[in-house]
Amino acid sequence: MKARKLGGALSAAALCLTLSAHGFAYCLTRTCDPETMQCELDSTRTCIISGKTLFWPNSCVSYDVQKDGSQKLHISYDDLHTVVVDAFQKWLDADCGNGTHPSIRVADFGAVTCGKPEYNKDQPNANVITFHDQSPWPHPNAVDTLALTTVFFNGDSGEIYDANVEINSAEDSFAIGDAKGTQVDLNAVLTHEVGHFLGLSHSAFGDATMYSSYMPGMTTLEQDDVTGICLSLPPNRTPLASECTPRHGFSTECGQPKTGCCATAVGSTGSHSQTLGVFAFALGLGVWRGRLRLRRSVRALRR
Q: What is the pLDDT of residue 301?
A: 31
pLDDT at 43 > cutoff 70: yes
The residue ranking higher by pLDDT, 291 or 202, is 202
Domains of the chain, by residue range, sit at 6-257+273-301
Residue 124 is which amino acid?
Answer: P
Could you tell me the pTM of the whole model? 0.82
Q: What is the pLDDT of residue 69?
A: 98
Q: What is the pLDDT of residue 276?
A: 23
- pLDDT category of residue 179 using cuts at 50, 70 and 90: confident
Q: What is the pLDDT of residue 298?
A: 35
pLDDT at 212 > cutoff 90: no
- The string of pLDDT tens digits covering residues 119-158 is 999 999 999 999 999 999 998 888 889 999 999 999 889 9
- The string of pLDDT tens digits covering residues 93-113 is 999 999 999 999 999 999 999
Q: What is the CATH number of domain 6-257+273-301?
A: 3.40.390.10
pLDDT at 250 > cutoff 90: yes
pLDDT at 280 > cutoff 80: no
Q: What is the pLDDT of residue 295?
A: 64
pLDDT at 275 > cutoff 90: no
Q: What is the pLDDT of residue 259?
A: 55
